[in-house]
Structure 1
Amino acid sequence: MRVRTFTLNTKREIVSKITREILTLFHVEITGSEGTADYAQLSVVNRRLLDTPEGFVRMESTLMLFDPNGNLRRFSCESTGAGDERDGAAVNRLIKLNLYRIFCEQLAMPQAPWGILHGVRPTKIVHRWIRYGLDALQIEKRLQRDYECSVEKAHEIVPMAFRQIPFLRMSDAQTISIYVGIPFCLTRCLYCSFPSNLLPNERHLREFMEILKKDLLAAKRDVMRFGFRVQNIYIGGGTPTSLPDDFFAEMIGMVYNAFYGDHVYEFTVEAGRPDSMTPRKIAEMKRRSVSRVSVNPQTMQLRTLRRIGRQHTPDDVRRMYHALRKAGIPHINMDLILGLPGETAEDVRDTMEQVAALSPDDITLHALALKRGSRLRLLMDEQHVELPSGAETCKMFSVAMKRVESLGMKPYYLYRQGYMRGDLENVGCCRDGAESMYNIQIMEEHQTIIGIGGAAATKVVDARAGRLKSTFHAKDLMTYLRDIDYYTERRRTLLEEVYGDGRNS
């Protein structure tokens, strides 16, 4: 559906955001006054009705379509909230639910697998209902009723949430994770929207290392001051292994000396790309007790690797994998992307066979998310780069999941993003005993995570307020280097606000 203009009866940012999520879900394009369109205007009016006698929120949403001749089509839907919802959350959910039902039931649009669960961590909702005492069947029914979630997706995430419970119980208010961001890559992938930088020269790397050391030591002081126990260390990026050998050894040594101890359950390094790996880096990871390495081929199709800007080959992936196994790294994760340009479900089938032959401990399936900052998004607009259809991407996901399940792996964490091909999700699957504690903690936002390095985020769980509070280092590398004192002070202030004098215990 193409419309020239769109209006909404509120300026509230959250309402605008969730309304546009529904428009995006149903591929409603706002063309502007000069564009060719099916309708001259789409208008949405939301209004709160009188609450039910029990005090439940009631919302009515009206969608109006004006054709080029001024004729009006009007559609309305009304919904009632649940008794265990906060007032504001109920209002926002019901707006999305009403609009979703208008598109599906009155405008005959196809239903989405996840319903209105767009851009959220769906298992967080499941965990809340588990705490309320609901059983698995009751939760699945709630997901279908309150979020229009399909039976298949509800059945996928409910067992996953119950699987996570023992891991989440291994953490308390004083248990935290450490994230270290190394914002460099050897090349920039076509689909990438992360704030990473091409690897600079030695002089600029040395400047980064000095600032990183300052950042690390400030975080170490915070850990000691508030009596934190570090459960997980995660070095990500960018591609941390893009650092030259000497710099990589220095970096991982600083991280190990600052935070490693008896409480550490998991130490992860994103190795990412085979063209960034060397024997010395593997030896340094082994020496520093790294327990998990992420190897990210994304695909095992050589033509696709070249198309998306990767310099390695499938054989390079295999060599890197075997080198890590030979070194005795306990767990190896492999990331794959579904929906890459030019690929088909048969390409994914072949990739899965090649990956399965390596027997990794964990396979994470990512649906391609076309972010505004990626070169691929720009090329799509300018050069009409061909991507698999949503239906083909869903077929890819089905092929990949069947192969993962045949390896005895089960899903254990999941998250969703905007602009995902096929309205799918990113899902991590592993064999029993190979679950990544860090992945579970960060996706469920159950644990405070201190961020260090370029573009890193610190996310603090405020148990008293019942919410997550965040502070972010600059995405721009030069700003991070220049203003490091400002960012470390912001991080310390946030931790003091939540943990000072034992307030979060």
Structure 2
Amino acid sequence: MKIKTFYLNSTKEIIVKIVKEILVLFKVEINDANDTIFDYDELKIENIYDDVALNGVKTVLTLRKDEKLWTYTRQSFLHDDESVKAGTNRLIKLNLYHIFCEDLQAKKAPWGILHGVRPTKIVHRLMEQGLDRQGVIGRLQDDYEVQIDKANLITDIAYLQLPFLAKANDPKLISVYVGIPFCPSRCLYCSFPSSILPSSEMTRKYLQTLNYEITKIKALIEQYDFKVQSIYVGGGTPTSLNENDFDDLLSLVAKSFKGDYVEEFTVEAGRPDSLSLEKAKSIVKYGADRVSVNPQTMQDRTLSLIGRKHTSADILRAFKQVRQAGIKHVNTDLIIGLPGEDIKDAKDTINKVIDLAPDDITLHALALKKGSELKLIRDNIVLPDDETVQAMAKIMTTAIDEYGLIPYYIYRQGYMSGQLENVGYSKKGQEGIYNIQIMGERQTILGVGGAATSKITYPGKRLQTSFNAKDLYTYLNSIDKYIERRAMLLKEAYGD
């Protein structure tokens, strides 16, 4: 739908944001400079609040073409257990969703009006309010228009996560993230704050600074008597480092954080072209027991197009090396909806990956992210449409189910192909602890390194974050500022 002019009876940032989410969901384009023909001259949205009872929202959507008007109205009401602010925002989206689907005949979305990154948090909140499984699913369908398969998916995941999240009730149990923001090359779809591996001199400076930051974090862990549950060395691609630097890094991480309470130690080896048998042996030597080797696809033409700089044969080699080194647990990431791919490619990729016998598989729906080259060249590249992506996802999830993996964590991003989601599947009992805790946001996670984030949990589930600089030079030159910020938050949350 192409609209020449748009009016909204609010300038509040949150209202503008949630209305935009609905317009993007239904592919409404406002005043594109490249268009000369519009479906409607004006789209007007007015939200009217019930000032007397503060329990409802009426939404009026008006379309105008020349002198002709079409007006549609919906009114919805808050639940007694719902805050006015959050509930009002939900009702605005719900009213607009009903107008688009019921009056304007738009196709319903798999996730309805759910837009947040962590949908299981809604399920956990409803469970804490006393709802049983069917009650939760009913609320997801009624309040958010989530389709039944997605409602079942996040509810099942939420129940599976309960014993893991229960451990976060121990305020002394934490996790640690170590960031290496370097890659062999930049992928077409990537928006992460990583860069091509710099010169040996700059890499040396980075590792020296990281070493300094790790010593400060180690001191804080000892000061507050924290117990480290999981360690995650990510990026970027940590295995981009040369073999000596990589070995030294893992030695430092293990010496600083590995203790009696560590249940999981993960190292990202995501780029097969950055992995060697020696690096795989270093991973085992320092006690890491979980590694990610991420093909994204097994189609060589796609790998070349998206800038991966490796082939499917390199993926086979990398899997052989990590198994030869004795690594117990291998995760692999795949992306659905990459440029030029179709249903046949999806079937071929998932079958080849399953033949490698990974212990868990994470399926990502391609997201068009700000900061990625793919976002910039979107108009010049062919992506599979939503229906094709959904069919590809169905093929892959069916194969994964038959292979014997179960979904254990989930997150969503904006502008995802097929209006889908990212889901991690694992063998029963081999769920990724760090992934569950980072999405659950109930455990303190201390992040070190460029672009790393620390999440400090306060009493009452309040969360504060501390961000290290994404820019490499800023991180190197301002490290003490980030160390002090994190120390201050820990003191506020845990006392002296």
TM range (shorter): over 0.9
Q: Which residue does 1:477 correspond to in 2?
A: 472
Q: Over the residues paired in the alignment, what is the CA RMSD in angstroms?
A: 1.4
Q: Which residue does 1:452 correspond to in 2?
A: 448
Aligned residue type for 2:488: T
Q: Which residue does 1:428 correspond to in 2?
A: 424
Quick check: 1:59–1:78 contact (8 Å CA) kept in 2?
yes
Match of 2:398 among 402, 407, 410: 402
Does 2:487 align with 1:492? yes
Quick check: 1:344–1:392 contact (8 Å CA) kept in 2?
yes
Question: Which consecutive residues of structure 2, in runs of 5 or more, have no partner in the other structure?
Answer: none
Quick check: 2:338–2:366 contact (8 Å CA) kept in 1?
yes
Q: Which residue does 1:201 correspond to in 2?
A: 199
How many angstroms does 1:364 deviate by?
A: 0.4
Q: Which residue does 2:378 correspond to in 1?
A: 380
How many angstroms does 1:33 deviate by?
A: 6.2
Change (3 A) 1:131 1:344: same
Distance 2:468 2:269 in 1: 22
Moved more, 154-163 or 41-50: 41-50
Distance 2:97 2:31 in 1: 21
User: Matches of residues 60-75 of structure 1 in structure 2 within 5 Å?
Assistant: 60-67=58-65, 69-75=66-72
Q: Which residue does 1:191 correspond to in 2?
A: 189
How many angstroms does 1:51 deviate by?
A: 5.9
Deviation by residue 1:442-494 (Cα, 9 ceiling, x = unmatched): 11112111111111111122233x33221211111111111111111111112
Q: Which residue does 2:229 correspond to in 1?
A: 231
Aligned residue type for 2:132: D
Moved more, 295-304 or 214-223: 214-223
Aligned residue type for 1:11: T
Q: Which residue does 2:346 correspond to in 1?
A: 348
Distance 2:59 2:42 in 1: 17
Aligned residue type for 2:322: L
- SS for the counterpart of 1:297 is coil
Distance 2:441 2:213 in 1: 23
Quick check: 1:5–1:32 contact (8 Å CA) kept in 2?
no
Aligned residue type for 2:137: E
Distance 1:73 1:467 in 2: 45
Does 2:49 align with 1:48? yes
Aligned residue type for 1:411: P
Identical positions, percent = 50
Distance 2:402 2:285 in 1: 34
Quick check: 1:51–1:58 contact (8 Å CA) kept in 2?
no
Aligned residue type for 1:498: A
Match of 1:119 among 97, 100, 116: 116
Change (3 A) 1:91 1:323: same
TM-score normalised by structure 2 residue count:
0.97
Change (3 A) 1:111 1:213: same
Deviation by residue 1:168-214 (Cα, 9 ceiling, x = unmatched): 12232221111111110000011111111100111111111111112
Does 2:323 align with 1:325? yes
Q: Which residue does 1:216 correspond to in 2?
A: 214
How many residue pairs get aligned? The number is 494
Deviation by residue 1:72-129 (Cα, 9 ceiling, x = unmatched): 3222211111122222111111111111111111111111011011133111111111
Quick check: 1:333–1:362 contact (8 Å CA) kept in 2?
yes
Distance 1:64 1:153 in 2: 31
Distance 2:259 2:376 in 1: 45
Distance 1:228 1:10 in 2: 47
Moved more, 389-398 or 480-489: 480-489
Aligned residue type for 2:6: F
- SS for the counterpart of 1:78 is strand
Q: Which residue does 1:97 correspond to in 2?
A: 94
Change (3 A) 1:34 1:207: same
User: Matches of residues 270-285 of structure 1 in structure 2 within 5 Å?
Assistant: 270-285=268-283
Change (3 A) 1:64 1:334: same
Aligned residue type for 2:494: Y
Aligned residue type for 1:319: R
Q: Which residue does 1:18 correspond to in 2?
A: 18
How many angstroms does 1:34 deviate by?
A: 6.7
Match of 1:76 among 65, 73, 77: 73
Aligned residue type for 1:9: N
Quick check: 1:177–1:449 contact (8 Å CA) kept in 2?
yes
Q: Which residue does 2:83 correspond to in 1?
A: 86
Q: Which residue does 2:297 correspond to in 1?
A: 299
Deviation by residue 1:349-374 (Cα, 9 ceiling, x = unmatched): 00111011111110000000011211
Change (3 A) 1:33 1:209: closer
Q: Tell me which stretches of 4 or more aligned residues in structure 1 moved more than 3 Å.
A: 32-35
Moved more, 84-93 or 145-154: 84-93
Distance 1:10 1:4 in 2: 19
TM-score normalised by structure 1 residue count:
0.95
Distance 1:494 1:266 in 2: 25
Does 2:107 align with 1:110? yes
Distance 1:416 1:431 in 2: 22
Aligned residue type for 1:283: K
Aligned residue type for 1:448: T
Q: Which residue does 1:363 correspond to in 2?
A: 361
Quick check: 2:277–2:325 contact (8 Å CA) kept in 1?
no
Distance 1:58 1:197 in 2: 48
Q: Which residue does 1:437 correspond to in 2?
A: 433
Moved more, 312-321 or 296-305: 312-321
Q: Which residue does 1:338 correspond to in 2?
A: 336
Deviation by residue 1:412-451 (Cα, 9 ceiling, x = unmatched): 1111100100100000111111100111111111211111
Q: Which residue does 1:4 correspond to in 2?
A: 4
Distance 2:304 2:381 in 1: 14
How many angstroms does 1:309 deviate by?
A: 0.6
Does 2:154 align with 1:157? yes
- SS for the counterpart of 2:225 is coil
- SS for the counterpart of 2:211 is helix
Distance 1:222 1:140 in 2: 42
Quick check: 1:5–1:30 contact (8 Å CA) kept in 2?
yes
Quick check: 2:124–2:158 contact (8 Å CA) kept in 1?
yes
How many angstroms does 1:222 deviate by?
A: 1.9
Question: Which consecutive residues of structure 1, in runs of 5 or more, have no partner in the other structure?
Answer: none
- SS for the counterpart of 1:232 is strand
Deviation by residue 1:358-416 (Cα, 9 ceiling, x = unmatched): 111100000000112111111223xx200001100000100000000001111111111
- SS for the counterpart of 1:398 is helix
Aligned residue type for 2:319: Y
